[in-house]
Chains A and B, each alone.
Chain A
Amino acid sequence: MRKTTYIQAINEAMKDEMRRDESVFLIGEDIGHYGGLFRVTRNLFDEFGAERVIDTPISEQGFMGMAVGAALVGMRPIVELMYMDFFLVCGDQIFNQAARYHYMSGGLLNVPLVIRGQQGGGKSYGSQHSVAVESVFAQYPGIKVVAPATPYDAKGLLISAIRDNNPVLFLEHKMLYFTRGEMPDATEEYTVPIGKADVKRQGKDLTIVTSSYCVLEALDAAEELAEEFGIDVEVVDLRTIVPLDMETVLESVQKTGHLLALHESQANCGIGAEIVARVYEEAPHLLKSPGRRLGMAPASVPVSKPLEMELLPWKKNIKAAVLDMMREYA
């Protein structure tokens, strides 16, 4: 087994799919000559040229719309949004167009489009470059949402996203980019299916359901909780937010009886609220304590490091939430 960074895994997925399928092309800002602000598309311009790795002007509505149009006639565009926050600039093209086209046309047309880019806090980028968007997207049927936490999942899920016949939002995280993980050889083909969660840590006392960078924070918190308090946390990595793999969530809750839904978008009206609600609707008898949510506090992301860390639902806040739950009910 070799180890690669998260960035390299994404780069490899795009390269492999572009070699395999001529309809795949990349479009976005600074992705060609420069190789992407975070170097995720590095070297792809050299191999595939300006026609398939398209540097755009700063016109998010325009190039998102063009990608939708190209997808409608059978191309498989991958759009890079430099920061996920910019989805708001081209929101109509994503939500009103890409997500609705298949339905509005009664199934006559498909939009096989991937929108990818990094989101999230932790690097002092401030309010307009740090938002986590998974909960917003989950409100719009017609678009799938994936948010892998490891290089292995990132490559496998991106390949699945590119081959999917629907618009797929592929969420990366700026804190994950330089993390490393085990990978099969570059020549070995594999995919990770969309819609399948993965238990990243087995545990018997409490279930944390999460995705993206929060998986790493949850795993860290779990190690410390085990060491310091003897609490054995199970970490379920959703990997896909839409569609949700409730089967895996329910299996885990059946085992532990305690549920904490964790994510970096706001807890208020967030995807965690949905997960907790579904457990209450589908199997309330499994819960030995009230299911809880932990997410970003209802504030914008500040630049100041201590303030940012105060708000983000990371290790310190995860530990506090778990201890609070277990103190009361264990």
Chain B
Amino acid sequence: MTTTLVSDEITHNKTNDKVTDNTDKKAIDDMVNDQPDENAAPSDTQEQNASLNASTPSSAAIDSVTPIQLPNEQLLTMYRTMFLIRRTEEMLLELAESGQIGGAMHTAIGHEANAIGAAAALRKGDYLTGTYRGHHHAIAWGVDPGQAIAEVLGRAGGFAKGKGGSMHFYAPEHGVMGTNGIVGAQVPHAAGMALASKLRKDGHVAITFFGDGANYQGLMHETFNMAQKWKLPLIFYCENNRYSEMTPISRTSSVNELYLFVRGYGMKSVQIDGNDVETVYTAVSEAAERARAGEGPTYIEGITYRLAGHMANDLETYRTAEEVDMQRSHEPLVVLRNKLLARDVSQEQIDEIEASVEEEIRAAVEFAENSPWPALGEAYTDVYAL
């Protein structure tokens, strides 16, 4: 398991000095296979270590909640949304491959349950901020896939007239207050929204999604501290897919279980299976209840896995096909489909839902592709608010 960068280094060294090559390779292997330092943190074996080990399934989460069983009707609605998000992002990847999408586009294929379970647990008027891997949050929160695709394509029919794009999703009418291109920057924003709710006493909570990699930004810890000190109605939701962009976090983290980070601040935290909507729903419901009761923030670490690349056209040299295949048997759609089938929902019902989503996606792509480019004058508007 090597990254592109590491491979380059080795190739480079080979041409110059064979001995250095071997030394470097050993050092790199040691780093990659680094076992948790037994003095570093509460120790867990590599097998139990869901935070760092990407060959561990999401179901290996160690400090979970007891999931509430949701009615089939609600689960079917969730399945529909999940399939809608999946197909939207698959279409986006196709559009990217065909050269229609510029810049960086990051899909959340494999992360969907984290968004859907959380959306169902929160209320109208609650706030969401997220990351540049945020299509799934926006759609789960109610953003129209046609507008979303148009936005990513830079068309006038996008919700931000094509000015935001894939990394910058907004739908204030649904509480989507922004996804962000800077890792971790959205987290204090949600804390500010929670502070606003606290000052207004309006009973709303804010949830902020971020990846495992964001935990290592300084402002996260500033925000953890203030949110806990001021008991803000806030939910920190870490979608831990075990890779910060192209680097496995086992290679860079001195903490073995990410949900323990905030315990130093006295904050309640749990590690859950982020690929199971009922588990996510339960954890976020409990966190929201605590937040609304004035008991302060909760940190939820949802163990999940990104089935597609970090961004469109990622070479994915940092992981094996076997690892990805293993994760497919625990991915959100499979988990939910199996659950539904086990609860007497028929395959035909599921097929029907999928067929109706395909229809919707066809219409969404058509809307987006037929949407015109913004008028050139739009380049100069929205710099300042009136």
Contacts and interface: CB of A to CB of B under 8 A. Distances in A.
Interface of A: 25, 51-52, 56-57, 59, 61-75, 77, 92-93, 96-97, 101-110, 112, 141-142, 144, 165-166
A106 B182 contact: no
A73 B182 contact: no
Count chain A CB atoms within 10 A of each CB in B180, B185, B219 and give the residue with the most.
B219
Given A65-B223, A109-B178, 6 more contacts: A57-B226, A62-B222, A65-B187, A71-B192, A73-B127, A102-B384
A27 B222 CA distance: 14
Contacts of A61: 188, 218-219, 222
B383 A65 contact: no
Interface string B170-214: 111000011011100101111111011011000000100000000
23 contacts: A59-B219, A61-B218, A62-B188, A62-B225, A65-B187, A65-B192, A65-B223, A67-B192, A68-B188, A68-B189, A70-B193, A72-B178, A73-B177, A75-B195, A92-B185, A93-B219, A104-B178, A106-B161, A106-B163, A107-B382, A108-B170, A112-B385, A166-B385
B196 A73 contact: yes
Contacts of A107: 160-161, 381-382, 385
B164 A66 contact: no
A59 B222 contact: yes
A92 B196 CA distance: 21
B192 A106 contact: no
B384 A142 contact: yes
A165 B195 CA distance: 19
A74 B125 CA distance: 13
Count chain B CB atoms within 10 A of each CB in A68, A73, A92, A166 and give the residue with the most.
A73
Nearest to A74: B196
Contact of A62 (B171, B223, B381, B382): B223
B196 A62 contact: no
B164 A105 contact: yes
Contact of A141 (B170, B195, B222, B383): B383
Given A59-B226, A105-B170, A107-B382, A70 B192 contact: yes
Measured as residues with beta carbon below 8 angstroms from the partner, the interface class of chain B is 35 or more
Contact of A97 (B189, B222, B381, B385): B189
A75 B199 contact: yes
Contacts of B222: 57, 59, 61-63
B223 A110 contact: no
Nearest to B191: A66
B129 interface: yes
Nearest to A243: B384
A67 B178 CA distance: 15
Nearest to A56: B226
A122 to B, nearest CB: 31
Given A101-B178, A109-B170, A144-B384, A69 B199 contact: no
Nearest to A111: B385
B192 A104 contact: no
Contacts of B219: 59, 61-62, 65, 93
B376 interface: no
A206 B353 CA distance: 77
Contacts of A71: 192
A36 B316 CA distance: 52
A69 B127 CA distance: 10
A93 B185 contact: yes
Interface in B308-339: none
Interface in B12-68: none
B142 to A, nearest CB: 14
A274 B116 CA distance: 51
B163 A69 contact: no
A65 B189 contact: yes
B292 interface: no
Contacts of A67: 192
Given A73-B196, A106-B159, A65 B188 contact: yes
Interface in B109-163: 127, 129, 158-163
B386 interface: yes
Query: Which 7 A-B residue pairs are closest in the complex by CB-CB distance?
Result: A69-B192, A65-B188, A62-B222, A106-B160, A69-B189, A59-B222, A66-B192
A118 B222 CA distance: 24
B222 to A, nearest CB: 3
Count chain A CB atoms within 10 A of each CB in B178, B189, B225 and give the residue with the most.
B189
Contacts of A104: 160, 163-164, 168, 170, 178
A102 B381 CA distance: 10
A65 B225 contact: no
A57 B226 CA distance: 8
Contacts of B182: 92, 96-97
B232 to A, nearest CB: 9
Contacts of A101: 178
B192 A51 contact: no
A108 B199 contact: no
Contacts of A63: 188, 222, 226
A97 B225 CA distance: 21
A166 B382 CA distance: 11
A51 to B, nearest CB: 6
Nearest to B382: A107
A109 B177 contact: yes
Given A25-B199, A74-B196, A69 B190 contact: yes
B339 to A, nearest CB: 36
Contacts of A64: 188
A108 B172 contact: yes
Nearest to B194: A69
Count chain B CB atoms within 10 A of each CB in A72, A97, A141 and give the residue with the most.
A72
Contacts of B168: 104-105
A71 B177 CA distance: 11
A52 B200 CA distance: 11
Nearest to B187: A65
A245 B193 CA distance: 35
Contacts of A144: 384
A72 B177 contact: yes
Contacts of A109: 170, 172, 177-178
Contacts of A110: 385
A289 B123 CA distance: 66
Interface in B339-386: 381-386
B152 to A, nearest CB: 13
Nearest to A58: B222
Contacts of A102: 382-385
